[in-house]
Amino acid sequence: MSGSLMKRLAEARKHGDVARLADAIPYAKWMQIAPENTTGELLTRMRYHDSLIGNTFLPAIHGGTLGAMLEMAAIFHLLWESETETVPKIVNITVDYLRSARPRDVVAPAATISSRSS
């Protein structure tokens, strides 16, 4: 794990501020994806911005950004909840899109993310 991320993780845990994790991950920062713990449950929020729109006719958020947000939710959860010394790497993630996402903030509870053995 990079020294910068390790320091930020230690500081975030010390202060109980999970949102500091996003500052250490440039992709999360660029996508405006950040974890939050205001309700007592670890949530990951992707703030809406116009560049997320994939279908301008609906308008709908691009499915790839939703997949990236779910992957980041899993990473934030693993970083926060485990005693890891490395950045977790998601081996496989499958997302079944049942409907389009509206142009607004998207929130994912990390508790619903689980691994499944084949």
Q: Where are the domains of the chain?
A: 3-111
Q: Does domain 3-111 have CATH number 3.90.180.10?
A: no
What share of the chain in percent tops pLDDT 90? 31
Q: How confident is the model at residue 118 (pLDDT cuts 50, 70, 90)?
A: very low
Pull the structure tokens for residue 8: 């930020």
Q: DSSP string of 23-61? A: HT-HHHHHHTEEEE-SSSS-EEEE---GGGEEETTTTEE
104 three-state secondary structure? coil
Q: What is the pLDDT of residues 51-98, one digit of tens each?
A: 999 999 999 999 889 989 988 998 888 888 877 667 777 777 777 777
Stated pTM of the model: 0.80
The CB density around residue 48, as the number of other CB atoms within 10 Å, is 16
